[in-house]
Structure 1
Amino acid sequence: MLFKEHKTILHLFFFALASYIVHKAVFIFFDIPNQNFHYSIELLYFIFFVFATALFMILLKFKTSHFDNIGMLFMGGTFIQMFFFYFILRPILVDKLPGMAVEKINFFITFILFLLFETLLTIRLLNKKR
């Protein structure tokens, strides 16, 4: 029963793992230097996964009692995530080093991927009948 309730988080984990492998492979294949990054790819994926998991735990908790408000709760959670991610992104935006453009793109790709995963999984959650 616990597995069935938290299957969404398992799907999120597999989406994150697959995208991490592809993301890391692109860095290795194109030999993109990432030693001077503020945040490693692993750390970014961990941070985004933790925030997405927390959001889905909240959504799953309120799914049974407040199903009609899941969409608004998702939007509010996404807004709070964006607020925290801005503070994570701030050191990257302030730095004027030559390699910062790659790190900015890296951060935004990860952000957009997780936003896509969260949106798709929330849509799937909303389409399920109670």
Structure 2
Amino acid sequence: MRLPGLVIAFLTLLISVLLLSFWLHLLWQDYANIERGSDMLFTSYYVNFLLAAGIFLLLYGLREKYKNQIGFLYMGGSLIKFLVFFIVFYPEYRTDGIVTRSEFGAFFIPYLICLIFETAYASKILLSSPKE
């Protein structure tokens, strides 16, 4: 199966930017004397990538059948991301009673990167879909 150019562009850019951000994040943790592996950093980047890629691929796959509902499907994907945060990350971050800035950044930075890419590429799907 040959992947379309839009899908390849999305995945390539997303992976590249997330890897660069992860590396910079690790450098910052070293500089700030924060233990590597704390704050669920790797898990956060990995889960955010999987969710962003999965949601985008779902939107791309359903773009013709549900062309008028792509925006709602996108918002549903955002709801899934919030649920994953509250099920997977939030309990771990709240074990000591507070969510530190480091913990917040460990989740929010990859989340924001993925959100920007998902939004930009979802709009490309909408713009490229055939009009009735």
Q: TM-score, normalised by structure 1?
A: 0.79
**Following TM superposition, where does structure 1 have runs of at least 4 consecutive aligned residues deviating by more than 4 angstroms?**
none
Instruction: Structure 2: give runs of 5+ residues left out of the alignment.
Output: none
The residue matched to 1:83 in structure 2 has which SS? helix
Question: Shift in Å at residue 25 of structure 1?
Answer: 2.3
Distance 1:14 1:34 in 2: 28
Q: Deviations over 1:19-54 (max 9, x none)?
A: 3313422531561323361413x3221111111121
- Alignment check: 8 A CA contact 1:12 1:117 kept: no
State the match for 2:95 in structure 1. Answer: 94
State the match for 1:120 in structure 2. Answer: 120
Q: Which runs of structure 2 are paired with 1:1-130 in the superposition (5 Å)? A: 2-4=2-4, 7-8=6-7, 10-28=9-27, 31-32=31-32, 33-35=34-36, 37-40=38-41, 42-90=42-90, 91-96=92-97, 100-130=100-130
Over 3 Å counting, the alpha-carbon distance change for 1:46 and 1:86 in structure 2 is same
Q: TM-score, normalised by structure 2?
A: 0.78
Identity of aligned residues (%): 20
AA of the residue aligned to 1:7: L
Distance 1:118 1:78 in 2: 10
AA of the residue aligned to 1:3: L
Q: Aligned pair count?
A: 127
Question: What RMSD, in angstroms, separates the aligned Cα atoms of the two structures?
Answer: 2.5
